[in-house]
Structure 1
Amino acid sequence: MRHEIVALALLGIVLAGAALLPESALSKKHRRPGAATAGGAPDGDRYAGRDIAARIVAAVAGSLQVGLLAAGASTLVAAALGLAVTFGRVADHAVGVLTELALGLPHFVLLIMIAFAMGAGTIGVIVAVALTHWPRLARVLRHETRTIAASEYVANSRALGRSRAWVALHHLAPHLVPQINAGFVVIFPQTILHEAGLSFIGLGIEPHLPSIGVMLSESLREVMAGHWRVAATPGLGPMLVAHAFERFGEALRQLSDPLERLS
């Protein structure tokens, strides 16, 4: 329960902070540590820290929104493919081949290709992430679906004249909910990190929008000048959120596994 509270608290703090930020906080250009204000007084780390912190909060909030959409779409793809195996051996074989083929492709290279084909931007990131993060969850759901489909009560339901779609919706889908929930929470932090990676190389969120990847890309010149905090601070935001949700996913997996609860 502790991990769930930490993850939800981080999510709430970031979203609330982004909603309360004034537009002026994001329009200002951050200064290098040790810079002076217009009046000559050293503003230094305090001004830069305040401005960078505002941009980080807004960027992480934007990454959370993109991650939720992309992870949700990817989870729906995995669930649909996992349930599709109930429609016969041909569908089962096709899903298996498609899943293994997707797992064998270089992940980030495929992300770059799809984002580039979509013309980059926020929509391109969401589509690219959604189309590349479903294979592992789909393989798990396919295995679970095949196991449940072989049970006696499913066979009895089919013998009573129920269609495959009815069986998949009423008998199989409810049993897959714990795996789907845990899979979504595991996919979600990956989408945040990959969104930052695509934005870093210029294929992600539009440059005028707050983005961790854009901030890291812009900070390279500052790092070479010795101002490492300008890059280190933005990098901590998505890392902490991703780590919290990975622990959240592990906690959900343990709750859904009877053997884990008994150990």
Structure 2
Amino acid sequence: MSDLEIPRNRSAAPLHVPRVSRTSNRVRTLAAFSVSAVLLALVAWLGFQLQDAACATDFSQKGLVPSMSHLFGTDWMGRDMLLRVAAGLSTSITVGLVAAALSALIALALSLFATLGGPKADAVVAWMVDLMMGIPHIVLLILISYALGKGAVGIIVAVAVTHWPSLTRVLRAEILQLRQSHFVATARKLGASRLQIAARHMVPYVLPQLIVGFVLLFPHAILHEAAITFLGFGIPPEQPAIGVVLSESMSYLSAGMWWLAVFPGLALIVVVMLFDLAGSSLRKLVDPRSSQE
């Protein structure tokens, strides 16, 4: 009798405990994604509203240390650093958003072309992926941005052109598995064209992976935008941006104005961490395997 009761007790626990655990994990993941997305949207909106105030100068207030009246201090022109950091983050988020969206679309188009275009198309896309991943990002970013006259457009194009290879590999692998499915084979026998199969079956299938990849591209786009702007190949100095703020602060660190670099750098790290939290949370929500972790 005891031999029969042992399996019964063992099988009873997994039927109840993991269900509660999965629900609580999903609620926490959804809450983390919602909070991080709201905070990022709030930062972008506030920064956009403060663009003019961030450029206002007051030489009677220049070089002030952080205080209650100026939480992040002021720079050598009397501009409030809190306003400049907020405006710079808004610019970085906007540039990263557009660049990541374009890069995700490039990855989707190339993955569809590789899987539906035959072996030659697949070989061409694989060669392009290997080529792009073999070139250092920062070098290619600088060359493309400089060739396009720098500015926001140059950064967006440079980031979009250089950040698609990893996502292309993921989408290509997913579409290759889908291409062997029965409903795709049935649609092909019924006379559906390659474009119809891609639009009706393949794009909706890889949409969760595409959205997650798009979100995870944000941190890379923002960091690379700040990096090439810091080096002088990105957004012009008259426009508030984190890279511009950090680049200008280098000339004044020796004078003891440490807050010009510390607060913008910390703000950039926080924004990147928020993007990473949003991306990892979204991945857990759309992936059935990781949603149970």
Identify whether the pair has TM-score above 0.5, normalized to the shorter chain: yes
- Cα distance in 2 for partners of 1:93, 1:46 equals 52
Q: Is the 8 A contact 1:14 1:57 kept in 2?
A: yes
Residue 126 of structure 2 is aligned to residue 100 of structure 1: no
5+ residue gaps, structure 1, are 36-42
Is 1:68 matched with 2:97?
yes
Cα distance, 1:6 vs structure 2: 2.7
- Work out which of the two has the higher radius of gyration on C-alpha atoms and give 1 or 2: 2
Q: CA deviation at 1:216?
A: 0.5
Tell me what 2:250 maps to: 220
Cα RMSD between the aligned structures?
A: 2.1
Percent identical among aligned pairs is 41
Could you tell me how far 1:261 is from its partner in structure 2?
2.2
Moved more, 9-18 or 223-232: 9-18
Q: Which runs of 5+ in 2 are unaligned?
A: 1-29
1: distance between equivalents of 2:53 and 2:216?
35
In structure 2, the partner of 1:33 is 64
**Separation in structure 2 between the aligned mates of residue 123 and residue 88 of structure 1, nearest angstrom:** 34
Q: Specify the SS of the correspondent of 1:93.
A: helix
2:186 aligns with 156
Aligned 1:43-192 pairs, distance under 5 A: 48=74, 51-84=80-113, 85-192=115-222
1:245 pairs, out of 267, 275, 286, with 275
Q: Secondary structure at the match of 2:272?
A: helix
- Whole-Å separation in 2 of the counterparts to 1:11 and 1:46: 20
* Letter in structure 1 aligned against 2:284: Q
Q: Which amino acid aligns with 2:129?
A: T
Structure 1 segments of 4+ aligned residues over 4 angstroms from their partners: 43-47
How do 1:14-25 residues align onto structure 2 when only pairs under 5 Å count? 14-21=43-50, 23-25=52-54
Q: 1:152-172 deviations in whole A, cap 9, x for unaligned?
A: 211111111111111111111
Residue-by-residue CA offset, 1:56-81 (whole Å, 9 max, x unaligned): 11111111111111111111000101
CA distance in 1, matches of 2:276, 2:70: 36
- The whole-number CA distance in structure 2 between the counterparts of 1:45 and 1:140 is 44
Aligned residues: 256
Give the superposition deviation at 1:191. 0.7
Are residue 236 (structure 1) and residue 266 (structure 2) matched?
A: yes
Q: Measure, in 1, the Cα distance between the counterparts of 2:203 and 2:90.
A: 32
Q: Deviations over 1:152-197 (max 9, x none)?
A: 2111111111111111111111010000000000001211111111
**Contact 1:33-1:45 at 8 Å conserved across structures:** no
1:38 aligned partner: none
